[in-house]
Chain A
Amino acid sequence: MLDPKYNERIGQIFARYPDKRSAVMPMLYVAQEQYGWVSPEAIADVADVCEMDPTQVTSIAGFYTMFRETPKGKFWLQVCTDLPCALKGADQFYEGLLKLVGLDHHHDTTEDGLFTVEHVTCLAACDKAPMLQCNFHFHESLDLEKMKALIDSWRAEASSGTLTEAQGLP
């Protein structure tokens, strides 16, 4: 069941549309926030409130890149490696980032569960390449040195238990 703490938000979402089905994407964001990913329970909850078939909700969740079909690290890093960013060294940045967090393969999560690293297509920030999105917040005009500082600060946040960047997670 979706947590009652979301009731007000859910009410506001439904008020925007003439039917319940149109709320499926915003509801998937709510459920993803609660469960951390669009787990089978999340799908069932959304299907329930939107009065839809769970298989339809599953196919919608699978259609979009921002719904987490599998659990991800606390810091879900999506690096843009589309052409304009790649022309500015995004591939090398991406490789360097994998090394920084200690991953061999992309789309993997570190053993401590902190970092998932993926590449994505254009995020409308091509003038500030290389860039990435961490839990849906942009970090732009990066290089590996700045990235290392960010990783260090995120690791510190994680060990002190104050996950600011991970909060407000869609």
Chain B
Amino acid sequence: MQHILLRNRETPDIGKFDVYVQNGGYEGLRKALDMTPDAVTGQVKDSNLRGRGGAGFPTGMKWSFVPKVEGPKYVAVNADESEPGTFKDREILEKNPHALIEGALICAYAIQATAVYIYCRGEFWDLAHNIEAEIEKARTAGWVGNRIAGKDWSCEVYVHLGAGAYICGEESALLNSLEGKLGQPRVRPPFPAVAGLYARPTVINNVETLANVPFIMVNGAAEFKKIGTEKSPGTKVFCMSGHVANPGNYELPLGTTFRDLIYTHAGGIANGKKLKAILPSGASGPLLAATDKVLDTPLTYEDVAALGSVLGSASVIMLDEDTDMVWATQRMAYFFRHESCGKCTPCREGTYWLEKKMNSIIDKKATATDIKILEDVAVQMQGKSLCALGDFATSPIVSSLKLFRNEYEAYVEPPAKPAAKAPAAKPAARAAAPVAAGGD
């Protein structure tokens, strides 16, 4: 299949401005500029493109919420990519950055924005500086800055570097961080479309979402909808990590089954092991046991939701038969405690207790009551936090307790009694590194 997003796979130098232009680059923006802004939004709406940052929200609809007011308006590109297991935006930013820049400019034209801020996670230091250089080349060619392509519309494109905080990927925290405030989520309403960056109308989209837009402008909504399924059209970059034979990014049509993705494309499970469980959306979505039903499920927003999980950003982490699920869940509990921004009590206190209970279980200092408390705390947290992180933090725990409760029980049973199923071999007990001896 031809790549739409990872065009660097066919044309390795597509990241360079000249090569991008030789391969049809900026034709999407040229077409858009000959249309009215509303018609551009309409075409994206017709394409049914859904946000690739996690929530799957219809992109054209998001753009249409922006009021037609005078004065500054903004596009904020979410390039904060920090979900464990996600590395798709990084490949686009590094190898095909003009697809993003062009897509963001098309969005900016559609909402008549005055500036685009690309919020790049700080660790993307090297590639962010490369993007700045590529933006300058686009500017020289007249695609950025004053009176773009000679039209009566001007727009700047800037890169802003974050500095290491998962929560800044949450869109309202991202805006606060850009404004030089603490990177903590905002209470909504108002929604960013009305009062976002500097309290001005703002669209926030993920890198991969925007990188689809040039294709939609050049080829039309109908061509885009030919790929994928009716409710989830287009391709998706699936990030394959963990115990997979060939880790990496795979751009495939939405609707590809888990089985095809894992066994046909990514070479199956490493070292000939059996697959035990899948995290389809990094640490933030519920675990799935690797049953035939799950493996035959098409990867679309609606089908993965029907399984009780989420497609999210499609960071698919594979866990093989030897994985200790209690250990894996503890690592995710550490992540969420570390990344909770501390603004609201259920999440700040809840993530602390979840990690503490997971640690006591894994250290074999817990009783069956602690498992119950762990579950209660997680369930109590759900739906009570200011942003989705508070819910994300509960999903690995609730889902692993549902699917692999016997492994938890094996940790708390007295050693004399034969365990229902002994915990599988695991990499070094409770990883001395990340959790012992404080330091963070």
State whether B165 touches A64 (Cβ < 8 A): yes
Chain B residues 219 to 239 lying within 8 A of chain A, measured CB to CB, are 239
Check if B46 is an interface residue, CB within 8 A of chain A. no
| Bound CA–CA A63/B87 (angstroms) | 23
- Distance in angstroms from A45 CB to nearest chain B CB is 15
**Pick from A83, A92, A128, A138: contact of B332, CB under 8 Å:** A83
Assembly CA distance A66 to B181 (angstroms) = 16
- In whole angstroms, how far apart are the Cα atoms of A65 and B164 in the complex? 5
Contact check, B163 vs A83: say whether CB atoms are below 8 A apart: no
Asked if B249 and A127 sit within 8 Å, CB to CB, the answer is yes
**B306-347 interface bits toward A, Cβ cutoff 8 Å, 1 = contact, 0 = none:** 000000000101010001000010011001001100000000
Range of interface residues on chain B? 35 or more
Task: Name the segment of B25-33, B384-392, B397-405, B432-440 touching the other chain.
Answer: B432-440
Residue of B nearest to A61 (CB): B163
Task: Give bound CA distance, A65 to B335, whole Å.
Answer: 14
B242 adjacent to chain A (CB < 8 Å): yes
Q: Given A83-B317, A122-B85, decide whether A91 and B90 contact each other with a Cβ distance below 8 A.
A: no
A126 engages B160 (CB within 8 Å): no
Instruction: Classify the interface of chain B: helix, strand, loop or mixed.
Output: mixed
B433 in contact with A91 (CB, 8 Å) = yes
Mostly, the A contact residues are: mixed
Cβ of A149 < 8 Å from any Cβ of B?
no
A99 contacts the other chain (Cβ, under 8 Å)?
A: no
Within the complex, which residue of A52, A82, A89, A128 is in contact with B84, where a contact is CB–CB below 8 Å?
A: A82
Partner of A66, one of B81, B90, B122, B279: B122
Number of chain A residues whose Cβ lies closer than 8 Å to a Cβ of chain B: 53
Contact present for B82 and A28 (CB under 8 Å): no
CB of B126 within 8 A of chain A?
yes
Interfacial chain A residues near B331, Cβ < 8 Å? 82-83, 86
Among B164, B319, B439, residue most surrounded by chain A Cβ atoms (within 10 Å): B164
Q: Is the CB of A50 within 8 A of B180?
A: yes
- A1-44 to B contact mask, C-beta < 8 Å, 1/0: 00000000000000010110111111011000000000000000
Considering the chains assembled together, what is the distance between the CA atoms of A64 and B319 in angstroms?
Answer: 30
- B residues less than 8 Å from A106 (CB atoms): 433, 437, 439
Whether A54 is near chain B, meaning CB under 8 Å from some CB there, is no
Which listed residue, A16, A64, A86, touches B162 by the CB 8 Å rule? A64
Least Cβ distance of B45 to chain A in Å?
30
Chain A 77-109 interface residues, beta-carbon cutoff 8 Å to B: 79, 81-84, 86-89, 91-92, 94-95, 105-107
Q: Is the CB of A25 within 8 A of B163?
A: yes
Please give, as numbers and ranges, the residues of chain A lying within 8 Å of B123 by CB-CB distance.
66, 123-124, 133, 136, 138
- In the complex, what residue of chain A is closest to B164 when comparing beta carbons? A65
Tell me whether B434 and A119 are in contact (CB under 8 A): yes
Given the interface pairs A66-B164, A91-B427, A122-B82, the reply to whether A127 lies near B434 with Cβ below 8 Å is no
A59 contacts across to B, CB distance below 8 A: 182
> Given the complex of chains A and B, what is the CA–CA distance between A14 and B195 in angstroms?
23
Q: How far is the CB of A116 from chain B (nearest CB, A)?
A: 11
Chain A CB within 8 A of B368 CB: no
Q: Is the CB of B126 within 8 A of A137?
A: yes
Contact indicator B247/A124 (Cβ below 8 Å): no
Q: Is the beta-carbon distance between B433 and A22 smaller than 8 angstroms? A: no
How many angstroms from the CA of A113 to the CA of B319 in the assembled complex?
Answer: 39
If A81-B434, A106-B437, A121-B82 touch, whether A21 touches B335 (CB-CB below 8 Å) is no
Q: Which 4 A-B pairs have the closest CB atoms?
A: A65-B164, A64-B163, A107-B439, A127-B247
* Contacts beyond the supplied A87-B323, A129-B241: 10 A-B pairs with Cβ under 8 Å: A21-B180, A50-B180, A81-B433, A82-B335, A83-B332, A84-B84, A87-B427, A107-B439, A124-B81, A125-B87
A-B contacts, 8 of them at CB < 8 A, read A16-B158, A25-B161, A124-B90, A126-B86, A126-B239, A126-B241, A127-B240, A170-B122
